[in-house]
Amino acid sequence: MVSEDQQLKDLMVREYDLQGNMVDSVHYNYNNETVFTTGSCLFSVLKNRFIAGFSINNSVRFLKFKRNWDTVSSGFYQVDTFYTIVHSLHKDSDSTFVANGWFYNEVSKRSNLFLTRFDTAFNPLWEQRYYDSTNVAYGGFFDGYVIPTQKGFMMGIQGFYASNNPIKGFIIGTDSLGNELWRKEFSNKKGIGLVQMAARTDGQYLFIAPEILDTNYRSFDRPSRLRFGVIDADGQITVDKRIGPILDNMGTSAFTKTLDGNFVTGGYTYVDPGQDVSYLFKFSPDGDSIWHRNYWHGYPEAFNMLYTARATADSGLVITGSHLDVERRYSPLNSANYTWLLKLDQYGCDTAGCHQIGLPETEFSQIPLKVYPNPAREQFTIAWPETQESVQLKIFNTTGQPVYEEELKEVLEKTIDTRQWPAGMYHLQINSGRAQQSRAILIEKG
C-alpha cells in the first residue's frame, strides 16, 4: 500500500500479509515537499520489480522498487509547465506502461486530460492530450482511469462545469498511439461522476458511474444510483441501465473484477449528516446486484473513503482507504488522516477486523442479526438478539427498485410475507441507530 504521511511530508510504502500483519515498511522523504498519492498507482512490472506513480508539487514522480522496496530508479513527468496529476497507471507490456491524469492551466483556469506512454526507465515514448470543449473557467476534465483495449485504450473521465452545468462523465477511446477515435458523454440534469471501466471475458467492457438524482444541498438526502453498461472498443454501447437508487451521494474510486467472475465497486456515501462511510457494491457482469455493504473505521461521524479493492486467492477481498479524524479523537491538535486495511470474505463480511495504520485495531460496530429461512418461499424472518429501539428497514430487488420499507419500533423480530414477490435475489438494508447492515436473501417459488 502506498500513501502519503501528512505530518512528515513523505511517502510511505507498507506491505501486509492476508492477516493484516505488516511485513515491511519504508519511508521516502522529499524535503518537506507536499506528496499527494492518487489511488492505486502501483503495479508489478517484472519479477520482484514494482512501479508507483504519485504527484509531488506540480509534477508526477515515478519510482521503481525492488522487492524489498529499495529504489531502483526514479523520474519526473510534467505536461509543459502545468500542474500535473496522475490518477491511473496501466501496464502495457513488460517494458512499457501508460499513465493517465489531468493537467491544469493557470492562465485559462482550465483542466484537461493526458495519456502518456513510458518505458520502464521513465522515458516518454508518446504523449497525447485531450481537451474539453466546454469553455468554463475552473472547469474541464478531471481524474482519469485508463484500460487497454483491442484498438488501443479507453479512458474514463469526469468533467466539472461550476454552476453552468452539472458534473458529466465521459469515455474516450483511442488507437494504440493514443489518438482519439471517439468520445462518449454521459449526463443528466443533476450530474454524473467519474466513469470507470473493466474488461469482460467476451471482449467487451463494463462501464459504471454514480448518477446523481437530487441536488438538494440543504440536506444530506441526495439519492444516487449506479449507471451501468457494456461498451465495445468502437464505442458502441450494447447495454445501458441503472442500478438503484440505493445509496446517497456516492463517490466511486474502486472498481475491480473478483475471482468468481463478478465485479465490485466502492467509495464513500452519506448515511446521516456528518457520517461519511465507505461502501462496497458487488454485481454480476450483467449488472445484477449480489450484495452491498457499508463500512466505517474508528467511529462513523467522520469521513471514511474506500480507495482500492483487490481480489485475494481465497475468493475474498482486501480493501484500503482513509479515515479523517474530524472530531480530533485521536489527534487533539489537528484533524489527522489515517489509512486502513480491511480483509473481507466473498460476501463482503469482515474476517480479520479493521487494521488501521497508526490506530488500535477496531472491529466493526455491527449488531448481530439472523435472516431465516434463506432461501425463503412464502416468508422470512429478521431477528435480533435483543430488542431494538428503532430500525429502518428497506428491501430492494436486483435492479435496485424498492419493494418494501418500514420503520420498526421496539422490535425483536419481524416476519415479512413474500408470497406476492417474484422469485429472485433481494437485498435488505437495515439501519438501527449507528449501525447499518445489508443482507441478501433468495426468494424461491414452486
Asked if the domains at 2-356 and 370-443 fall in one CATH topology, the answer is no
CA pair distance 261, 444, nearest whole angstrom: 24
For residue 205, what pLDDT is reported? Answer: 92
Alpha-carbon distances, residue 43 vs 95, 236, 335 (angstroms):
13, 30, 31
Residues in the chain: 446
Place of cell 504521511: 5
CATH number of the structural domain 370-443: 2.60.40.3080
Would the pLDDT of 327 be above 80?
Answer: no
Mean pLDDT of the chain: 77
| Segment 419-435 mean pLDDT | 77
210-225 tens-digit pLDDT: 887 765 544 445 567 7
Phi/psi at 152 (nearest 5 deg)?
165, -100
Q: Are 195 and 209 in contact (CB under 8 A)?
A: yes
Q: What percent of the chain has pLDDT over 90?
A: 20
Q: Which three cell numbers stand for residue 204?
A: 467487451
Q: Strands, DSSP E only, in 286-420?
A: 289-295, 303-311, 317-324, 337-344, 350-356, 370-372, 379-396, 402-417
Look up the CATH superfamily of 2-356: YVTN repeat-like/Quinoprotein amine dehydrogenase (2.130.10.10)
The x, y and z cell numbers of residue 265, run together, are: 465497486
Strand partners, 215: none
Cβ pair 58, 113 in contact under 8 A: no
Count of helices and strands (H, E) across the chain: 0, 32
Task: At 405, list the grid cell.
Answer: 420499507
Burial of 214: CB neighbours in 10 Å, binned 0-12, 13-18, 19+: middle
pLDDT, greater one: 19 or 243: 243
C-alpha–C-alpha distance, residues 295 and 129, integer Å: 38
The 10 Å Cβ neighbour count of residue 397 is: 18
Model confidence over 136-171: pLDDT tens digits? Answer: 777 889 888 899 999 999 999 988 876 555 688 899
Whether residue 415 has pLDDT greater than 60: yes
**CB distance 103 to 130 below 8 Å:** no
How large is the average pLDDT for residues 85-113?
Answer: 89
Confidence of residue 356 (pLDDT cuts 50, 70, 90): very low
pTM, entire model: 0.70
Mean pLDDT (whole number) for 397-417: 84
Ordered by start, the domain boundaries in the chain are 2-356, 370-443
> Residue 297 pLDDT more than 80?
no
> Residue 90, class by beta-carbon neighbours within 10 Å (0-12 exposed, 13-18 middle, 19+ buried)?
middle
Element (H, E) at 178: none
Task: Provide mean pLDDT across the span 173-187.
Answer: 94
With beta carbons less than 8 A apart as the criterion, state whether 117 and 125 touch: yes
Type of residue found at 41: C
Is residue 98 over pLDDT 90? yes
**pLDDT band (50, 70, 90) for residue 72:** confident
Q: Minimal CA–CA distance to 113: which of 66, 146, 162, 71?
A: 146
Decide if pLDDT at 228 tops 70.
yes
Q: What pLDDT is attached to residue 100?
A: 93
Query: How far apart are the C-alpha atoms of 19 and 356, rounded to whole Å?
Result: 13
First to last CA, the chain: 49
Nearby residues of 22 by Cβ (< 8 Å), 6 or more positions away: 14, 15, 16
Residue with cell 418494501: 404
pLDDT given for residue 261 in this prediction: 85
How confident is residue 130, by pLDDT bands cut at 50, 70 and 90? very high
Q: How far is CA 320 from the centre of its chain?
A: 10
